[in-house]
Amino acid sequence: REVYIVGAYETKHGILKDKTIRQMITEAGNGAIRDAGIDRKEIQALYMGNYNGNIFNRQNTMAALATTALGMQHAASMRVEGACASGGIAFRQGFMAVASGMYDAVMVMGVEKMNVPLDEVPLEEQLHGAQAGVDYIYEGGLGMNGSTMFALFANRHMYEYGTTRKQLAMVAEKNKYHGSLNPYAQKRKPVTLEKILKSPIIASPFSTQEVSLVSDGAAAVILTTKEKAKELRTDGKLVKVIGSGHGGGSFTVAVRESATSMPATVNAANEAFEMAGISREDIDVVECHDCFSFTEIMNIEDLGFVEKGKGGPFTEEGHTRLGGKLPVNTSGGLSAKGHPIGCTGTGQIVEMTFQLRDEAEDRQVKGAEFALTHVLGGPGAVSTVHILQRGE
Amino acid sequence: REVYIVGAYETKHGILKDKTIRQMITEAGNGAIRDAGIDRKEIQALYMGNYNGNIFNRQNTMAALATTALGMQHAASMRVEGACASGGIAFRQGFMAVASGMYDAVMVMGVEKMNVPLDEVPLEEQLHGAQAGVDYIYEGGLGMNGSTMFALFANRHMYEYGTTRKQLAMVAEKNKYHGSLNPYAQKRKPVTLEKILKSPIIASPFSTQEVSLVSDGAAAVILTTKEKAKELRTDGKLVKVIGSGHGGGSFTVAVRESATSMPATVNAANEAFEMAGISREDIDVVECHDCFSFTEIMNIEDLGFVEKGKGGPFTEEGHTRLGGKLPVNTSGGLSAKGHPIGCTGTGQIVEMTFQLRDEAEDRQVKGAEFALTHVLGGPGAVSTVHILQRGE
């Protein structure tokens, strides 16, 4: 059956020194409940994306903590984890629960508090946590990490398709500009292309301006049936979930067939579009996983918006900028809005809900009717794609 | 639509010093695939229960590691976590995925490797990981842990209902006897009631013989449709999942309404029995969460097998022993089979599958037709209940 988003809320992303993870959870959860106007007793389950709470915050089982903190301990709770895709997987599980008829109203939340004092959680432990999202035995334990892996992919893409250093930097420049328009973003200052190109390289070809941020943040949405959605949203601001896809790919980079395409994304997108029954051309606005500048270029290709190898030129021509053919990462994306890992996938849904309700203010894509969100977890091992439609 | 278990496998539980977590995963996954006789390409998703891999094994995103290690990286992967209920939640998600028609064949796996060398993962980090399953800010960080919390509940139950120290110890004696019959169990020696009662107390009223073990282990099952199950299992050994429930309760002990009953279990059991359409009297064998001797007594009450307060006498009368009215924890349970946290809920399903296929050897409950499994996560914050039926 049909599934609607009736409530959406996210905290500002950033270095939230004055907020515990519990405070972030209650702010996001209560915000979504208030936005939906739903009685919290009616929420039957909570699906939470969280990557690393048991290291960063000494706290596992975060979904049960949240139901208790939100006064809805009757709800069935579960935390899901799939590295940077955690918040997207949580949303998919919540969608499936309502679509299948198992529950009538659920909350999906994503949360991560990554900026924690070194005297509380020693640096080495934090690094172990951050590294644990790649294959530890074969790769992570030998020093490979997200930056070096995605740098390999980027170099190969440049070699195979002639993608340029400037095209990569233009992704970052655009997203930082978008972020400057987003009050929820961690970084609000635009950065010039020149500055990006001159910034120190951290893993060639990426400069320090082309990587995702280390962020704190929480986001929550409430999903329910069409009937209940119409009853709750008397303002008529309905957002419908029309497609959901979840793809898989190799977790171990060494055994991957391609370094320039992620089957996880390709398959998730195909699954979501098939369910939605619309075409790529119908999409008006996209949030996709720009963990590095290059990743956005690969993603818009894998999602099927442009041919393989054409992501660089498409970006250079300005089509992915606000006002362009296909605005991508109007929120500022992971490089400006921020990347609180478990939160990211759910935060994308919040941003797209704002877009489809005409609430995105300075970054509004006029009249957007169809929106797509995409996250990638592990170095391409998991991907989820969701397609949302402005409701009747 | 109807959901069947067509493959089941678990590793021996114990201190598996010679096995990496990847080896445990491949042993369990390949074992279940072999048992089902299914082509791994047909498995569309993996739901994995794992609690603390990113501390114990420096490895997060374990579900994606598993799909890759098992040569099924095409599959959508997700890890779920809900403390000690993780493996039960994973099973429920896999069940929902097939029941709803989203997938035709999925694998559910639970895994945990808890015995790791202190020179690889320092004791303090391991303790942080173990403690992270209770509310850290309000309780865990102040020194409360699983033992002290369940000891509080046990004392209150003894006060309210006259449950005796001997009745508690009889749970442990029974489960250790059952474990002595189970080749998969960590502890294979029966322990006398006298020895249990004389063992050192670790949190009154619990002696060292009445707590769950620190275990390594992995378990996997394969779920599919009725049609596919009949095609695969030419031996006719079919097991059908007829009920699934997932309940919630307070994660924070201080705000709980009762110390002697867990609403999470009561609600999960009601949901599962309603779906199954059978009554408590129909159940022939039970695996339930005996993280402490007392917990089994509380659980058989909360599951509705006996009246509140009657769990002690029911145990004392021998009804829960092999050969009794309602054999409970024929595997040896958490106190003898072992408690590899994320594995436990899935391992229970494997044990019950063996029972319903007449493969439980010395611990076989003759002609068992209906089986129930139950796990409890966090100090009562999450519970799942599943009901299985010997197939047509």
Residue-level length of chain B: 392
pLDDT confidence of residue B328: 98
User: Quick check: B73 and A250 CB within 8 A?
Assistant: yes
Count of CB atoms situated within 10 Å of the CB of B319: 17
Of A75, A101, A132, the CB nearest to B60: A132
Residues B202 and B222 in one domain: no
- pLDDT tier for residue A251 given thresholds of 50, 70 and 90: very high
Determine, yes or no, domain membership for B342. Answer: yes
Report whether pLDDT(A269) > 90.
yes
- pLDDT tier for residue B160 given thresholds of 50, 70 and 90: very high
Q: Which domain holds residue A68?
A: 3-121+215-232
β pairing state of B76-81 and A216-225: unpaired
Selection from B48, B143, B93, B72 nearest residue B343 by Cα: B48
Q: A361 exposed, middle or buried (CB, 10 Å; 0-12, 13-18, 19+)?
A: exposed
Task: Kindly list the residues from chain A whose CB atom is less than 8 angstroms away from the CB atom of residue B68.
Answer: 135, 250-252, 255, 381
Q: How far is B291 from chain A (nearest CA, A)?
A: 17
pLDDT confidence of residue B310: 98
Residues A199 and A222 in one domain: no
- Stretch A122-132: mean pLDDT: 92
Determine, yes or no, domain membership for B140. Answer: yes
Report whether pLDDT(A313) > 80.
yes
Nearest CA in chain A to B58: A132
- Stretch A222-241: mean pLDDT: 97
DSSP A73-130: TTSEEEEEEBTBTHHHHHHHHHHHHHHTTS-SEEEEEEEEE----TTTS-HHHHHHHH
Distance CA(B23)–CA(A29), nearest Å, equals 40
Task: Kindly list the residues from chain B whose CB atom is less than 8 angstroms away from the CB atom of residue A72.
Answer: 248
Of B89, B101, B131, the CB nearest to A78: B89
pLDDT confidence of residue B300: 98
Residue with tokens 């009246």: B307
pLDDT confidence of residue B332: 98
Report whether pLDDT(A131) > 90.
no
HSE, CB side, 13 Å, CA atoms: give it for residue A148.
10
Is the bond preceding B190 in cis, omega lying within 30 degrees of 0? no
pLDDT confidence of residue A326: 98
Instruction: Report the greatest alpha carbon distance in chain A.
Output: 56
The count of structural domains within chain A is 2
Residues B319 and B329 in one domain: yes
Selection from A210, A218, A223 nearest residue A184 by Cα: A218
Residues B155 and B226 in one domain: no
Count of CB atoms situated within 10 Å of the CB of B54: 27
Residues A302 and A191 in one domain: yes
Residue with tokens 């919390």: B149
pLDDT confidence of residue B285: 98
Determine, yes or no, domain membership for A127. Answer: no
Determine, yes or no, domain membership for B128. Answer: no
Residues A208 and A325 in one domain: yes
Report whether pLDDT(A88) > 90.
yes
Beta bridge partners of B245: B385
* Winning range, highest mean pLDDT, from A117-131, A344-358, B126-140: A344-358
pLDDT confidence of residue A268: 98
**According to the 3-state scheme, what is the secondary structure of B149-202?**
HHHHHHHHHHHHHCCCHHHHHHHHHHHHHHHHCCCCCCCCCCCCHHHHHHCCEE
Residues A94 and A106 in one domain: yes
Distance CA(B218)–CA(B203), nearest Å, equals 29
Report whether pLDDT(B130) > 90.
no
Of B51, B132, B252, the CB nearest to A68: B252
Please list the active-site residues of A: 84, 339
Inter-residue contact B290 to B169 (CB < 8 Å) = no
Helix segments in B223-319, DSSP class H: 226-232, 263-276, 293-302, 311-316
Task: Kindly list the residues from chain B whose CB atom is less than 8 angstroms away from the CB atom of residue A255.
Answer: 68
Name the catalytic one among B157, B178, B289, B339. B339
User: Quick check: A128 and B82 CB within 8 A?
Assistant: no
Selection from B366, B271, B350 nearest residue B8 by Cα: B350
Distance CA(B193)–CA(B166), nearest Å, equals 8
β pairing state of A382-390 and B3-10: unpaired
Residues B375 and B300 in one domain: yes
User: Quick check: A81 and B83 CB within 8 A?
Assistant: no
Report whether pLDDT(A392) > 80.
no
Determine, yes or no, domain membership for B129. Answer: no
User: Quick check: A58 and B141 CB within 8 A?
Assistant: yes
Inter-residue contact A387 to A277 (CB < 8 Å) = no
Residue with tokens 């097939």: B98
- Stretch A275-285: mean pLDDT: 98
Q: How far is B127 from chain A (nearest CA, A)?
A: 10
Single out the residue in A199, A232, A265 at which a domain terminates: A232
Determine, yes or no, domain membership for A283. Answer: yes
Least confident of A90-99, A189-198, A285-294, B130-139: B130-139
CATH of the domain at A72: 3.40.47.10
pLDDT confidence of residue A130: 87
β pairing state of A76-81 and B3-10: unpaired
Inter-residue contact B374 to B92 (CB < 8 Å) = no
Residue with tokens 């060398």: B117
pLDDT confidence of residue B392: 74
Residues A171 and A79 in one domain: no
Determine, yes or no, domain membership for A126. Answer: no
Distance CA(B46)–CA(B108), nearest Å, equals 6
For all residues of chain A together, what is the average pLDDT?
97
Residues A21 and A74 in one domain: yes
Of A58, A61, A251, the CB nearest to B83: A61
User: Quick check: B81 and A76 CB within 8 A?
Assistant: no
Q: Which H helix or E strand runs over B224?
A: strand B216-225
Q: How far is A213 from chain B (nearest CA, A)?
A: 20
Phi then psi for A7, rounded to 5 degrees?
-145, 140
Q: A237 exposed, middle or buried (CB, 10 Å; 0-12, 13-18, 19+)?
A: middle
The strand ranges marked E within chain A are 3-10, 45-49, 76-81, 105-113, 201-203, 206-207, 216-225, 239-248, 285-287, 370-377, 382-390
Distance CA(A116)–CA(A128), nearest Å, equals 14
The dihedral through the CA atoms of A15, A21, A23, A27 has a sign that is positive
Report whether pLDDT(A167) > 90.
yes
Determine, yes or no, domain membership for A274. Answer: yes
- Stretch B268-280: mean pLDDT: 98
- pLDDT tier for residue B171 given thresholds of 50, 70 and 90: very high
ipTM > 0.90, yes or no: yes
For all residues of chain B together, what is the average pLDDT?
97
Residues B175 and B221 in one domain: no
Residues B315 and B182 in one domain: yes
Distance CA(A357)–CA(B293), nearest Å, equals 54
Beta bridge partners of B372: B286, B387
Q: What is the pLDDT of residues B136-154, one digit of tens each?
A: 989 998 989 999 999 999 9
User: Quick check: B135 and A76 CB within 8 A?
Assistant: no
User: Quick check: B82 and A77 CB within 8 A?
Assistant: yes
**Residues sharing a CB contact under 8 Å with residue B40, sequence separation 6 or more, in sequence order:** B33, B70, B71, B72
